[in-house]
A and B are shown apart, each in its own frame.
Chain A
Amino acid sequence: MLHTVAITLKIPDNIAFSALSALRRLGVQVERVERADIWQFAGPASGDDVAASVKRNESLFNPNKHALELRESPKPQTGEAWVSTVAATYAVAPGASAAAVHHVGWRLFGKDGMPVAPATLKEAIEKLLCNPAIERAIT
């Protein structure tokens, strides 16, 4: 069973704020950016158990500033790209099990408040969100 956990900031997300400014400067039609740390865990445990264990892992989750969501789908949502580092040769996080996969999830929204179209998302990935020398993006 593959469980997908999304961790977002409850405090202002300055990274998403800067990404939005840069994307708009680059002419990408986007009005809002949401960023999440996406963790995927394979194993027999239930989703709730996985979520609970992430909440106990202090290097992944700090209740003071993070919110946690157990995603139903193991794939990016519409308007969302998951960017991950290719062939990381270092531990992803202290205490994270070797089976965990980490992505940064970027979800882009347009003027109408709806997730952006695939072409816009692709443009954002190519222009800013992914450096193909070291990263790959899935949508």
Chain B
Amino acid sequence: MALRPEELRRIAHGLGREPTTVELYAFDAQWSEHCSYKSSRQLLKQLPTTGPNVVLGPGEDAGILHLGEHNGERYGVVIAHESHNHPSQVVPFEGAATGVGGIVRDVLCMGAEVIALADCLRFGNVDDPQSHQRYVARQVVDGIAAYGNAIGVPNIAGDVYFDEGFNDNCLVNVIALGLVKESEIIHSRAPERSAGWDIVLVGKATDASGFGGASFSSLTLEEDNQEANKSAVQVPDPFLKNVIMRASYRVFEYLRKKKITAGFKDLGAGGIMGCTAELCAAGSYGAIIDLDEVNVSVENLPAEVLAVGETQERLCWVLPGHATADVLRIYNEEFSLPEIARGARATVIGAVQEEKRYVMRRGGEIVMDVPIDFLTGAISNEPTHREPSRATPSSSRNAHEPGGLAQVLGARNGCSREPLYKEYDAVVRGTTVIPRGHADAGVIAPVAGAAFGVALSVGGSVAEAARKVVAVGGRPAGLTDCLNFGNPNNEVHFAQLAGAVATLSEDASTLELPFVSGNVSLYNESSSGTAIPSSPIIGCIGVLDNVSKVVSPALKHPNSPLYFIGTRGAGPALKTENQRIAALLDAIDGGLILSARAIGSDGILAAAAEMAFAARNDFGVEFNDEVMPETRYHGWLIEAAEAATFEDFASRRLSREDWRRTGVTTVADIGGEVDIVSAGRSWDLDELHGAWSTRLAELYA
């Protein structure tokens, strides 16, 4: 159990008595970092969360941004972001798969159709073929593939990096997107005037798996406890989830038709207790739950396991009594849950009550009875006397390995990710415009018959993620973050977290981008006290008003000019970034841009090489003398359709200092000598491509 002595005292004081066993486990889950954000809540308040695009900010299971209009309907894109780091370190396949399963539920319970997935992975040193790190790196990818492919949601974005700092603690962050009509959003709370309504549990039969998950994720991993930790990891069932998703879509349709407002929430941390308590507390109600009504696959489960165990593939409805029978029929008969998986079903397990107490019964006895706001309300563990460090969190990447372009592109952190993502279905649903790995951001056109599209990118900073969305022609609309750090009770780690949040907040404010969802994963360290490299992971959602304007990174024409737009030097100058973004999007809208790529930490030459690879090495790139390969370039490399038109356009939109023509020019070499040329050196593109495309193949063979 992760509760601290002073928290135990607070519980006894608040209840006026010693807690029961079930209550103890309930507070342990509910007051864990995972549920309460007790160490990070104050910090997170700094992040900007409002803006004209925001339909629903952080606070519920997922955030929502406005996407576009079609046939008189306003559509929103739902965004959720989670980490499943600890489970993936202990049982990598199941841990990663249940991470996908959890994030999908967060999107689904907003009344949305799940339309895209992304995953950001950090693994340890995988050089040793016998190492656990290597096993983790392979099994995590297999687990994500197994789950995402089976439920039929395309994986359109993500990244992966390798660093020794993740040897004892991998990172598995997952993002899911959903599509919802803005008039049909379902909230994760008991609706107004819902006292007496039914609480309906849907999904897999409860078992003993995932017991202690919430507090497990808020503990550091201890080597000799691995066996016990395994039982805190849940067992995924993507097949059952596939059916539950589709059955829930049918329920959405039914509720719409009957004009019924209901509450819907997924079961994650804290199991039945966590979900039902938060649902009812959010509506300013209490709840009575009868644990005897819970469908189980193991007899005689202790009450605390029933109450807080985190069996996967479960969701919970708050429904008016007159709708309950129809909803049960949809799940249990039309979609035949009980015939598909043993013990799976939808069942009434309790009711919303006016009195703001959270009560659980088992075998006729009351096993829990606490003030609901005390259970779900704020607790704080804000460490004091902190001077937030303003240093940019250390990146896990090898930005510039010695030896130049061939080494950068052939390095494990610079090479093609295709051997990994080819295991992920990137095109199911038929909506994919740019699949995973084909550009800086993935793009889908989620509404049949509508021309608007959604772009999704990931990165280590706000600027990087936003730039990637712009590179495909997306207008950055909002952000999501997952903050992966070490133990917050350690001063150094807390200062890193505080510094990272301050940077994110400043950057997002400068770019006028709201955070609409997010997650905090702390305690990422091994028992020896070694924390992971600080890893904020940012997702950016972009909107394309018309996917016909989408831009790919593949070079298009011989002799068209390549430009760099951005700033050079140590740190990015974001003050003027909005101006550049607006100019670039205008140019894309005007059809002036043929291809584009955001320049990453691997540098401008690597960006050019990858644009050439995307065009199957049909073109080479010859840089002029102004380009210094070792300089940091913050911005984009773009291929313009016509030099004169583009320069005329750009000189009107951008100040002279703001963009500098590099004079980079593409050349087609029909003879087959297709090279990247810069500063007197040249690299054969076919050789570069060979090193780039095969580096990860041995790991993901």
On A, residues with C-beta under 8 Å from B are 11-12, 14, 17, 21, 58-59, 62-65, 94-95
Contact = CB atoms under 8 A, between A and B. Distances in A.
B96 interface: no
> Which residue among A11, A14, A17, A63 has the maximum number of chain B CB atoms within 10 Å of its CB?
A11
A94 B135 CA distance: 9
A20 to B, nearest CB: 11
A63 B231 contact: yes
Nearest to B130: A95
B209 A64 contact: yes
B235 A65 contact: yes
A64 B230 contact: yes
B135 A64 contact: no
Contacts of B340: 14
A60 B373 CA distance: 45
A62 B343 contact: no
Interface residues of B, number: 23
Contacts of A64: 91, 94, 209, 230-231, 233, 235
Given A65-B209, A95-B135, A12 B230 contact: no
B341 A14 contact: yes
Contact of B91 (A17, A62, A95): A62
11 contacts: A14-B341, A14-B342, A21-B339, A58-B139, A59-B93, A62-B91, A62-B230, A63-B231, A64-B91, A65-B209, A95-B135
A63 B230 contact: yes
A14 B205 CA distance: 12
Contact of A63 (B139, B227, B339): B227
Interface in B165-207: 205, 207
Nearest to A12: B342
4 closest Cβ contacts across the A-B interface?
A12-B342, A12-B297, A64-B230, A64-B231
A62 B229 CA distance: 12
Given A62-B91, A65-B235, A94-B138, A12 B343 contact: yes
B6 to A, nearest CB: 33
A11 B233 CA distance: 14
Given A11-B297, A12-B343, 11 more contacts: A11-B209, A12-B205, A12-B341, A14-B239, A58-B91, A58-B135, A59-B139, A64-B91, A64-B230, A64-B233, A94-B138
B94 A62 contact: yes
A62 B235 CA distance: 10
A57 to B, nearest CB: 10
Nearest to A57: B135
Nearest to A91: B701
Contacts of A12: 205, 297, 341-343
Interface in B224-263: 227, 230-231, 233, 235, 237, 239
A27 to B, nearest CB: 19
Contacts, number: 42
Contacts of A95: 135
B231 A17 contact: no
A63 B208 CA distance: 12
Contacts of B231: 63-64
A64 B138 CA distance: 20
> Which residue among B139, B209, B341, B342 has the maximum number of chain A CB atoms within 10 Å of its CB?
B342
Nearest to B205: A12
A97 B279 CA distance: 50
Contacts of B209: 11, 64-65
A9 to B, nearest CB: 9
Contacts of A59: 93, 139
A77 B208 CA distance: 31
Contacts of B343: 12
Nearest to A17: B342
Interface in B298-357: 339-343
Contact of B207 (A11, A21, A58, A94): A11
B298 to A, nearest CB: 8
Contacts of A94: 135, 138-139
A44 B267 CA distance: 48
Nearest to A18: B340
A11 to B, nearest CB: 6
A64 B91 CA distance: 10
A21 B227 CA distance: 35
Interface string B109-147: 000000000000000000000000001001100000000
A25 B135 CA distance: 42
Nearest to A65: B235
A98 to B, nearest CB: 15
Interface string B654-690: 0000000000000000000000000000000000000
A94 B138 CA distance: 9
A63 B92 CA distance: 14
Nearest to A95: B135
A59 B140 CA distance: 12
A43 B690 CA distance: 41
> Which residue among A21, A62, A64 has the maximum number of chain B CB atoms within 10 Å of its CB?
A64
A24 to B, nearest CB: 13
Contacts of B227: 63
A58 to B, nearest CB: 7
B208 to A, nearest CB: 9
Contacts of A63: 227, 230-231
A84 to B, nearest CB: 22
A63 B91 CA distance: 10
A95 B132 CA distance: 11
A14 B91 CA distance: 21
Interface in B497-513: none
B234 to A, nearest CB: 9
Given A94-B138, A95-B135, A11 B93 contact: no
A95 B138 CA distance: 12
A12 B240 CA distance: 13
Contacts of B207: 11
A68 to B, nearest CB: 14
A65 to B, nearest CB: 5
A94 B233 CA distance: 21
Contacts of B91: 58, 62, 64
Contacts of B230: 62-64
A62 B97 CA distance: 15
Given A62-B91, A62-B94, A64-B209, A11 B341 contact: no
A63 B230 CA distance: 8
B313 to A, nearest CB: 12
Contacts of B94: 62, 64
Contacts of A65: 209, 235
Contacts of A21: 339
A97 to B, nearest CB: 13
A15 B91 CA distance: 22
A21 B207 CA distance: 23
Nearest to A13: B342
A94 B134 CA distance: 11
A48 to B, nearest CB: 18
